Structure 1
Amino acid sequence: MQTPKRKSEQTRRYNDDDNYLTPEKIQELKNELERLEQQIRPKVVEDLTAAREMGDLSENAAYSYAKGRLAGIDRRLFEINEKLKNAIVIQRGAGENGAVCIGSTVTVRINNQERIFEITGSQETDPGSGRISHRSPVGSALLGHIIGDIVQIKITDHKVDYEIIKII
């Protein structure tokens, strides 16, 4: 049997390393929060009230369904509020001394081919489009380096040289 977790224990999973968000992601979360609070949750509460008025709650599938949906919405509202409360806004561009940091867009040369990576927080990664986490092997290896540096990164069983040619 799984032991229930207190809210304080649930929030521990949101540590500082996971709270890096771009201004766009913060706005997206605010929009979702507003939509849930203004449109979706009131409709589900209305459905729950209507189902409650149908009578016997022990065999009322509509009531059970609406109650479950409301719990899911409330859980998502809690998660969004925690993310927004603990958010660390990512500033775009190079860091101190022009070094790669979270928020940098880095152009590297790998085996005579150029690749562009945007270093993001772990909540906004999309490796297919070049958005990689600061915790990923490539992202963490590039952090702190400047234009002209050659960074050796171990990929599976061999090392690959990444030459930094541009940082935005």
Structure 2
Amino acid sequence: MALFSFLKDRIQYVPTPSTIMTDGTNYLSKEKFDELTSELEHMKTTRRREIAEQLEYARGLGDLSENAEYEEARNLQAATEDRIRVIEEQLSHARIIEHSKSNSVSLGSFVTIQKQGEKEEHTYEIVGSAEANMQEHKISHRSPLGASLMDKKRGDVFAFETPKGPQKYKIVNVK
């Protein structure tokens, strides 16, 4: 992984609550960082080679102005280069988060909340914006709910703006 040695200093960083919301850092879990690094390596090596082979084949078919295979390969090349730029940008501003040992909600925390007056509980992982995915119960620390949870502790009650208006929730657990 010598290709990505410039990213080594971004590992094992525990951000403070004041820097989490204000800086331009892209906070990532170690797993997401590794996933993006692997994808970048694949795109720069294997994918570029595959596209070069497709372009070479398409050029061999003759007239490029009426060559659908060539046009498709060029579009794929452009999309691949765009993805490479996006990943490089994400990684260039990346900090790998480690959950702090405090009892308050921070990046990397798993938080269980309960709407006041209801029995149903919901557990979310607080992640950086690049990893947010509601189907996986991962919410960004910059989302309205994520921002409302930051620095709260087990037992705290907080108000959160929902489509039905402000609602009160209780933090049942923080891990």
- TM-score of the two chains, using structure 1 as the length reference: 0.79
Classify 1:148/1:17 alpha carbon distance in 2 versus 1 (closer, same or farther; 3 Å): farther
Aligned partner letter, 2:103: G
Name 1:55's counterpart in structure 2: 62
Give the match's secondary structure for 2:47.
Answer: helix
Name 2:113's counterpart in structure 1: 108
Name 1:29's counterpart in structure 2: 36
Give the Å deviation of 1:17.
Answer: 4.9
The 8 Å contact of residues 108 and 114 in structure 1, kept in 2 or not, is answered as yes
Identity %: 36
- Distance in structure 2 (CA, Å) of the matches to 1:80 and 1:22: 15
Cα root mean square deviation, aligned: 2.1
Give the Å deviation of 1:42.
Answer: 0.3
Give the match's secondary structure for 2:107.
Answer: coil
The 8 Å contact of residues 55 and 74 in structure 2, kept in 1 or not, is answered as yes
The 8 Å contact of residues 125 and 133 in structure 1, kept in 2 or not, is answered as yes
Aligned partner letter, 1:136: S
Classify 1:114/1:54 alpha carbon distance in 2 versus 1 (closer, same or farther; 3 Å): closer
Classify 1:18/1:123 alpha carbon distance in 2 versus 1 (closer, same or farther; 3 Å): farther
Give the Å deviation of 1:119.
Answer: 0.8
- 1:98 corresponds to 2:83: no
Give the Å deviation of 1:16.
Answer: 4.7
Count of aligned pairs between the two proteins: 152
Give the Å deviation of 1:76.
Answer: 1.0
- Distance in structure 2 (CA, Å) of the matches to 1:164 and 1:58: 62
- Distance in structure 2 (CA, Å) of the matches to 1:105 and 1:93: 12
